[in-house]
Structures are given as structure tokens and as C-alpha cells.
Amino acid sequence: MNNSNDLESFSEEVLDTVSKNVLKYRKEKGMTQMQLALEIGMNGGAYLGRAEIRKDNQHFNIKHLAKISKVLEIDICEFFKS
């Protein structure tokens, strides 16, 4: 059985991987943080920018990822690959 530290560490690794992949695929599509943020219905790029680098433990939720995957035309599963 996993202890809570193992689970916490694992979940943080997943969030880090997702953030790195969102950043990678956004750049591959030539979009700015602001452009992507506006496309998914955010008012500005600040949250998205913090989530991409995990500043202050910010991260994307499933709804964000679903929208981002559609905008970037990428399978949502790609965000979870190491």
C-alpha cells in the first residue's frame, strides 16, 4: 500500500509532466500564453503562465486540459506522457 508521501510525490510528478507538455505543445503550435488563455476562455495569460511553470503550485485542471487539447489539436493523453 502506498503511503501518503508516495501518493503526494506521484501526483506532483504528474502535474509537472502535464505542465511541461502543455508548454511544449503550445510552443510547437506557435501560440503565446495569452493567445491560448483567451482561446480557452480565460481573461488573461497569468494563470496559464503560472500553471505552465507550476509557480505557487498552480496547475491545470481536467477542464483546462480538455479545452487546451481541442485548441492545440492534440489528444489529451499526450499531456500525461513523460
Domain ranges of the chain: 4-80
Q: How many other C-beta atoms lie within 10 A of the C-beta of residue 12?
A: 13
Query: According to the model, what pLDDT value does residue 75 have?
Result: 98
pLDDT-derived band at 1 (thresholds 50, 70, 90) equals low
Q: Which three cell numbers stand for residue 3?
A: 503511503
Nearest to 33 by CA among 54, 19, 55, 49: 49
Note the Cα 61 to chain centre separation in Å.
8
Give the chain's mean pLDDT: 96
The CATH code that applies to domain 4-80 is 1.10.260.40
- Band of pLDDT at residue 3, cut at 50, 70 and 90: confident
What's the mean pLDDT in 18-36? 98
Gap between the Cα atoms of 21 and 17, Å rounded: 6
Q: From CA 45, how far away is CA 36, in angstroms rounded? A: 8
pTM of the model: 0.93
